[in-house]
Amino acid sequence: EDQVTQSPEALRLQEGESSSLNCSYTVSGLRGLFWYRQDPGKGPEFLFTLYSAGEEKEKERLKATLTKKESFLHITAPKPEDSATYLCAVQAGGQNFVFGPGTRLSVLP
């Protein structure tokens, strides 16, 4: 069964304090790994897709990387507006996405 775990469950950072979020997955035949951002009371918003080990994607202060067993979302010099829940999801053989529980990030000014 495809599984996704994320750590830490919650993370509090000071503005400018860089850190990384982890997504570990177990899947047969990974087609893609995806990162989403979800603000309170909103639906998830797409950030990145990673397809193969060694791949990296960047967007503003965020960089996502992928290995054969896990993905990292690196946040460089975060700002309060980066506060959100970050969700990781994998797509295997089917058309559905398996999401992890998310990491709640709080960036304090």
Q: Is position 98 an interface residue for another protein (rule: CB under 8 A)?
A: yes
Task: Report the 3 state secondary structure along the chain.
Answer: CCEEEEECCEEEEECCCCEEEEEEEECCCCCEEEEEEECCCCCCEEEEEECCCCCEEEECCEEEEECCCEEEEEECCCCHHHCEEEEEEEECCCCCEEECCCEEEEEEC
CB of 100 to another protein, least distance (A): 5
Q: Is position 92 an interface residue for another protein (rule: CB under 8 A)?
A: no
Q: Is position 45 an interface residue for another protein (rule: CB under 8 A)?
A: yes
CB of 70 to another protein, least distance (A): 16
CB of 96 to another protein, least distance (A): 4
- The Cα–Cα gap between 96 and 34 comes to 12
Q: Decide whether 17 or 60 has the Cβ nearer to another protein.
A: 60
Candidate residues 66, 84, 97, 107; the one interacting with another protein per rule CB under 8 A? 97
Q: Which residues bind another protein (CB under 8 A)?
A: 4, 31-32, 34, 41-46, 48-49, 87, 89, 91, 94-102
